[in-house]
Amino acid sequence: MEDILTTPISQTALAHFEARLQNDEKIEPKDWMPEAYRKTVLRQMMQHAHSEVIGMQPEGNWVLRAPSLRAKKILLAKIQDEGGHGLYLYSAAETLGMDRTEMIQLLHEQKAKYSSIFNYPALTWADIGAIGWLVDGAAIVNQVSLQRTSYGPYARAMVRICKEESFHQRQGYEIMATMMKGTPEQQAMAQDAMNRWWWPSLMMFGPHDADSPHTEQSMEWKIKRESNDRLRQKFIDKTIDQAYVIGLTIPDKDLKFNEETKSYSIGPINWDEFWSVVKGNGPCNKQRMTHHIKYHEEGRWVREALEAFAKKQIEMN
């Protein structure tokens, strides 16, 4: 097929598209956009939506084991939010021309990803605190930046989602702070969760910019407004002091505070672990996918009933 970007009409369309980006205008579903832009935004939004839904699994395992009714209600509210974020993002991603059925098929065929962080097990109640505080804390840093992304439906979805994420991060931090004021066993449990979730939370931001195949183009298209490393550093600088305030130790013997730049430098991230998890060899990859496929199949009758009802409604009108 002739390259769509070389025909004269598209050169004009491309120049117009780039001028709009320069003006920080939002690209809307019905606007002309380069096919490569559409594909990149769709890939990122689809994987973001998958992450929100798969992310419900580690926390769902703790609803029946929450230590109080209050804790159970908060966790239920958070999990429900995550499901809603997933549906919101699927709807926004569908404006780019792919139905969520196909997106979920790609997930099940492992041709679409979800965030590596959700392939780690939630072993104790303190993990629920660490997930809320660190994982949602990292997600907030990323998603606040994405509120300025160039694709309109994605930016607007982020504004709505960020409002709920701040509650998620705070409730997680409250769990960790409460445990750090508790018995020595509870303090040890919180520190153990910190030790297991700190580095995987840093990996959420993706590979270093120099190793990221998408960042440069995504920054040019203003899909990403800040790079992986820039967002990771923001999260580090924001979170380490929160840990110190409640008495947690950062599991990084190379950690240093730079008085000049007023920011922290960290030890090396284990990228072998990261890519191994991304490639499907994390502690919970198989469990997460088996669970998702099982319950997606179990829900098939609901989707079919709704489709039949909608079809009937159309026939009757």
Which residues of the chain form contacts with ligand 3HC (CB under 6 A)? Answer: 43-44, 47-48, 51-52, 55, 82, 85, 113, 115-116, 135-136, 139, 142, 165, 203-207, 212-215, 218, 228, 278
Contacts of 110 (CB under 8 A, 6+ apart): 280, 289
Contacts of 269 (CB under 8 A, 6+ apart): 199, 202, 203
Tokens for 257, please give them.
Answer: 């505070």
Alpha carbon dihedral 280, 285, 287, 289, in 10-degree steps, equals: -80
Dihedral sign (CA 78, 80, 83, 85): negative
Tokens for 83, please give them.
Answer: 């499901």
3-state secondary structure (DSSP) of residue 257:
strand
Tokens for 102, please give them.
Answer: 């196909």
Nearest by Cα to 157 from 168, 148, 166: 148
Nearest by Cα to 48 from 179, 142, 176: 142
> For residue 148, is it left (φ>0), alpha (ψ between -120 and 50) or beta?
alpha
Cβ proximity of 13 and 214 under 8 Å: no
DSSP state of 248: P
Contacts of 259 (CB under 8 A, 6+ apart): none
Give the Cα-Cα-Cα angle 303, 306, 312 (nearest 5 degrees): 140
295 — phi, psi (to 5°)?
Answer: -80, -25
In the complex, what is the shortest distance from the CB of residue 263 to ligand 3HC, in angstroms, rounded to a whole number?
20
Contacts of 71 (CB under 8 A, 6+ apart): 175
User: 156 pairs with which residues across the strands?
Assistant: none
